[in-house]
């Protein structure tokens, strides 16, 4: 999630002070990813350093209003029309855990999958309950529901992936997957890249 770009996009609507930005962020995301004010001010200072925002007027309560610059507005426009790039190097803890369990002598990968599947099912059920309990046609309610829908789809995809993994592993006897420690001793330096298809 890009806090930087989201705060810039909010500032494109008009000047805001720190707590106001946090409130506006929460309104648009349903407080799914709460931000602390320190994080907001750190981000604003970096945006100021990069010439994307500037400090504006201070009100009677001491609130400093931050304003977007022309460069910041152009940055928001580029962000909104650009796809979100999901890096191939992202480490998915669950995928790594199951891959290790599947190749670790004596580990029960099926149990790992079943345990995770139960937890993922509970999470999906909980998200659906929350979604149904907060039906709201307001713009704020729509924004919140879009975020929750994304989480529901991700949880559902995780369950389907776990079922897929279970099916794949069932095609191999457990002893054929086990990897014993290799006798090869790697040289110092960077490890050689493993041969395999590139992820795109």
Domain spans of the chain, in order of start? 3-81, 93-177
pLDDT tens by residue, 73-110: 999 999 998 888 776 656 778 988 888 888 887 788 88
- Quote the pLDDT of residue 114: 94
- Quote the pLDDT of residue 89: 58
- Quote the pLDDT of residue 108: 86
Rounded Cα distance, 53 and 56, in Å? 9
Spatial CA neighbour of 92 closest among 103, 104, 100? 100
Contact yes or no for 27/143 (Cβ under 8 A): yes
- Quote the pLDDT of residue 137: 82
Query: By CB neighbour count within 10 A (0-12 exposed, 13-18 middle, 19+ buried), where does 174 fall?
Result: middle
- Quote the pLDDT of residue 194: 56
Contact yes or no for 56/66 (Cβ under 8 A): yes
pLDDT tens by residue, 117-159: 999 999 999 999 988 888 788 888 888 888 899 999 999 999 9
For the entire predicted model, the pTM comes to 0.70
pLDDT tens by residue, 19-60: 999 998 888 877 677 788 899 999 999 999 999 999 999 999
DSSP string, 102-162: HHSTT--HHHHHHHHHHHHHHHHHHHHHHHHHT---SHHHHHHHHHHHHHHHHHHHHHHHH
What is residue 54's three-state secondary structure? Answer: strand
Which residues make beta-bridge pairs with 6?
A: none
**CATH dotted code for 3-81:** 1.10.10.10
Question: φ, ψ for residue 82 (rounded to 5)?
Answer: -100, 145
């Amino acid at each position: 999630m890009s806090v930087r770009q989201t705060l810039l996009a909010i500032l494109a609507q008009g000047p805001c002070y720190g707590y106001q930005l946090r409130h506006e962020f929460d309104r648009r995301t349903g407080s799914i990813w709460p931000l602390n004010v320190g994080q907001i001010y750190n981000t604003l200072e970096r945006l100021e350093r990069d010439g994307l925002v500037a400090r504006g007027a201070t009100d009677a309560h001491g609130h400093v209003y931050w304003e977007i610059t022309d460069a910041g507005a152009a940055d928001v426009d580029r962000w909104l029309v650009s796809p979100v790039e999901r890096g191939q190097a992202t480490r998915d803890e669950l995928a790594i855990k199951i891959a290790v369990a599947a190749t670790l002598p004596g580990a029960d990968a099926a149990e790992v999958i079943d345990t995770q599947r139960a937890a993922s099912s509970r999470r999906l059920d909980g998200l659906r309950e929350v979604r149904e309990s907060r039906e709201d046609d307001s713009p704020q309610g729509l924004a919140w529901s879009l975020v929750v829908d994304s989480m529901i789809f991700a949880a559902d995809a995780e369950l389907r992936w776990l079922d897929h993994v279970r099916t794949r592993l069932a095609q191999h006897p457990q002893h054929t997957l086990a990897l014993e420690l290799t006798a090869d001793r790697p040289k110092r330096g960077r490890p050689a890249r493993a041969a395999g298809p590139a992820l795109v």
